[in-house]
A = this chain, B = another copy of it.
Amino acid sequence: VLTKIISFLEQECKGIAIEPMVVGVSGGPDSVCLLDLLIRSGKSIIIGHFNHQLRPDARKEADMVSKLAARYGFPFVCGTKNVKEYAKDNKISIEEAARKLRYQFLFGQARLLKSPAIAVGHNADDQVETILMHFLRGAGLSGLKGMSPVTHLNEFDQEIHLIRPLLHSWRSEIEQYCQENHLESVQDMSNYDKTFLRNRLRHSLIPDMETYNPAFKLALMRSADTMRGDLQMIEELTDQFWTSAFMEGDPGYLSFNLDILQRADAAMLRNLTRRAVTYLKNSLRDVSFEAIERLVRLVKDDKSNSARIDLADGLFVFCEGNRLFITQSYSDIPDRDSPQVMQPAVICTGESLQLVGDWELLMELVDLTDLEMITSNLDPYQVWMDADLIEEPLQVRCRQEGDRFQPFGMPNGKMLLSDFFINVKLNKRSRGSWPLVCQEDEILWIPGYQFAHKYRVKETTTRSIHMQLRRSPGR
């Protein structure tokens, strides 16, 4: 086992800084063995223990690890949280809560102590059980590849490495090592409520599978190693594709070039989607097969611009023109191009009103001298209306339930504003805060699109209200 661990540190950790490393020690055989081996291999170490407060003996176990640290003469850090409470408060399983709080503690300590790596005691049997659990729930490559010997847990830290030096050592080897070296340990509690499932796998399903292939566990380990390499190849391809398809994004949203997505095959889209969810959520935990297939169909579907589909954990996907967006909320997407009204406001002649998105609305009273110029105006961001029909101040607001509008050129009746927006193909995302210039309940002008028929400048009109929506100067 010592030879294995030394070759692990030499080969898998080649070229990455791992010292001083925080070693997560629960007090179970795996972590006690790992600690002993790492100390023998001469590494610089900080011993970390997290008390999950899940068992009556938890306190004693912490003491035991503390004494162990003292005996070895290495620094010891200890943390604790009420895992049960945290699970309840966050509506997650106890196992999930335990994992989260434990890693939060270990990564937090590593950051504090400027440690570039955390070592944990997962062994080959844990690996087999993990892969089998993924297999049972129908995971793809990313699950069947199992745990990685050297990896990052981006949800906790993007820089600090997580290393698993015992990943190719069997539980029996570890127990033998502990016995031969008189290492005391407690029962390992790192997998609390999975214990029942793991125990069933360990004592029932895996032995059963070994009757089909006595070398099943070894075969699975090898297959995982191979698939880890394959996944890496796919990830590199996905990287390249991401680079070619990516348009914009920040921690709150991502947008991709829809044309490029449409030319890709389904497998690539699936991998891009998984990557995108991981990027936005720091984890892939909640994305289902169906959700990913929905996205694939959305992209391949010609009607992509009318749909919005749920992806995972609050994320949704929609298309806008040539772009596909993934986000948790429309408001996470900076609307750099559209004018937006956040709060209703009023405007009078001679004033200018600042709108979100670096736009401003101007209003002035003008004498009509050149009717021709006005009627031939093709700029939808400017309007001239009959001043005699208008009573200041005008309201500037966004749409309201039931808004209707009588566009210029439609002498009779009014249409639903929602229908008008659909007709002019205004982005769904922009409709909610698009500025409307109103007089009482009546919409006079929809900047960028159309003004109300009734307020048009006629031959008899002498004075006109001129309004303009433009980018704020000096921007």
The CB with the most chain B CB atoms within 10 A, among A204, A213, A229, A265, is that of A229
A216 within 8 A of B: yes
Q: How far, in angstroms, from A208 to B207 measured CA to CA in the complex?
A: 13
A208 contact from B138, B205, B219, B268, Cβ within 8 A:
B205
A219 contact from B137, B216, B271, Cβ within 8 A:
B137
- CB-nearest residue of chain B relative to A135? B135
A266 within 8 A of B: yes
- Whether A136 pairs with B230 at a CB distance below 8 angstroms is no
A268 contact from B204, B233, B271, Cβ within 8 A:
B233
Q: How far, in angstroms, from A87 to B233 measured CA to CA in the complex?
A: 40
A223 contact from B139, B208, B266, Cβ within 8 A:
B139
Chain A residues numbered 129-144 whose CB sits less than 8 Å from any CB in chain B: 135-141, 144
- CB-nearest residue of chain B relative to A223? B138
A212 contact from B205, B268, B271, Cβ within 8 A:
B205
Count of chain A residues with a beta carbon within 8 Å of a chain B beta carbon: 41
Q: How far, in angstroms, from A201 to B208 measured CA to CA in the complex?
A: 11
- Whether A267 pairs with B216 at a CB distance below 8 angstroms is no
- Whether B267 pairs with A138 at a CB distance below 8 angstroms is no
Q: How far, in angstroms, from A270 to B212 measured CA to CA in the complex?
A: 26
Chain A residues numbered 198-219 whose CB sits less than 8 Å from any CB in chain B: 200-201, 204-205, 208-209, 212-213, 215-216, 218-219
> Which residues of B sit under 8 angstroms from A218, Cβ to Cβ?
138
A220 within 8 A of B: yes
- Whether B138 pairs with A219 at a CB distance below 8 angstroms is yes
A82 within 8 A of B: no
- CB-nearest residue of chain B relative to A131? B135
Interface string of A74-91 (1 = CB under 8 A from B): 000000000000000000
- Whether B205 pairs with A138 at a CB distance below 8 angstroms is no
- Whether B222 pairs with A267 at a CB distance below 8 angstroms is no
A2 within 8 A of B: no
The CB with the most chain B CB atoms within 10 A, among A204, A223, A271, A289, is that of A223
A244 within 8 A of B: no
A226 within 8 A of B: yes
Chain A residues numbered 212-256 whose CB sits less than 8 Å from any CB in chain B: 212-213, 215-216, 218-223, 226-230, 232-234, 237
A267 contact from B209, B213, B220, B226, Cβ within 8 A:
B226
Given contacts A209-B205, A289-B222, contact A136 B233 (CB under 8 A): no
- CB-nearest residue of chain B relative to A228? B267
> Which residues of B sit under 8 angstroms from A268, Cβ to Cβ?
229, 233
Q: From residue A135, how far is it (CB to closest CB) to chain B in Å?
A: 6
Q: How far, in angstroms, from A233 to B234 measured CA to CA in the complex?
A: 7
- Whether B233 pairs with A237 at a CB distance below 8 angstroms is yes
- Whether B213 pairs with A137 at a CB distance below 8 angstroms is yes
> Which residues of B sit under 8 angstroms from A212, Cβ to Cβ?
136, 197, 200-201, 205
- Whether B141 pairs with A141 at a CB distance below 8 angstroms is yes
Q: From residue A98, how far is it (CB to closest CB) to chain B in Å?
A: 21
Could you list some 13 contacts between A and B, CB below 8 A? A136-B209, A137-B213, A138-B213, A138-B215, A138-B220, A138-B221, A140-B227, A205-B208, A226-B270, A229-B267, A230-B230, A232-B265, A233-B265
